[in-house]
Structure 1
């Protein structure tokens, strides 16, 4: 049985992972930024949850401390908290929205890595997983430049952590592929939303499909420098509808 913490675990893939890991017999604690979401995941999924903002190092530390108080240790820490933004060129993206994406997706992961690495080093070790996403491989999608830049940075940060982490602490990357959550961005025009909906219907998997698959690997592939994720290749007929073969994940 592993003791696992998931940031951003009150909705979407984080919530799905919490449920799947719990069903596999592990002890799980999550956090979210709203009291309503924290209460809901506790009551409906059955995992302890704490209100914590990943962009605040002190709140992340409080999450660690509470998990250790409950479980005695933390074996695996998953930096899952993330947000997206409206699909517009970066020069049209409002500064507050750009700042939120940068802070949650990068500073939040940095905080989680720092707190978990220090805490694990003091307690004999553990593994840190960070979530990749669109942009992690350098692929550029117009209108999602800020989001993609943060995910590219997370990949670099994780590789650096894998090389510099203290003894006993390891780090790796999770690439869930395209998942049907509120992070999917459809665009502002009716035509763009229609095209995106068609593509997502082919490419994106529901949380209930992805989470159990990923949860098994969170535990079994927790090795330094590990990178694990879903690979989706479209059949030729479906690929033609979206302009050729498309690969999602790794």
Structure 2
């Protein structure tokens, strides 16, 4: 297959051929940054899904699909004389070197960050200095991507303001905030449950819970994905149990389904499910 460089060159040639206005693929030729963006997001999620539930071969394929998105965007940019795939690679390499002075710079060796937490702090300080030199970089929150899933963005916002000291000092203080937000939601429900106010209070509770996860070192997005997976697994088990009885969820009572659900939970607690995916 050749060297890594020749393999990348082949991929870039394929992309150029697909985008050729004369002999290329009509669908690929019509695409823009905006139309490709949803596919880029989808491919990123499919990589995460492959990591959590797939096989090495599945992950290899999904990583290739994500790489294709980078190549696709780079080709569109090159056609507009904005930048090329090589520029993307150079920018990434330069940034990695710049943000790892403990590996590539003067701080390597003695005195360099020695734990993941220290490295993360160094990374955030370097990013903050970079933002100061960028146009419009007046806010600590500049650069926190709006397109992130809401839970991930809430975590990123909390992490960013924590770099300037705007954070709860302890987990216990965050728990107090969670309790406060839950009470405010309860008060809103008791006072008449105005839909907009209720949604606002629920959002505040979500935000506080995400910050609790951050203080505990837990990624709320990953935790909720795991909870979704567990719920799906258990409900499918309920469906299977009902099917063995010649019944379906729509024909069973809540009490009957809850009884099976509790039995499924007890069985899982006695025999924890084997780790899935690539873990």
TM-score normalised per structure 2: 0.22
Q: Which has the higher strand share?
A: 1
TM-score normalised per structure 1: 0.24
Q: Which has the higher helix share?
A: 2
Larger Rg: 2
Higher relative contact order (CA closer than 8 Å, sequence separation 6+): 1
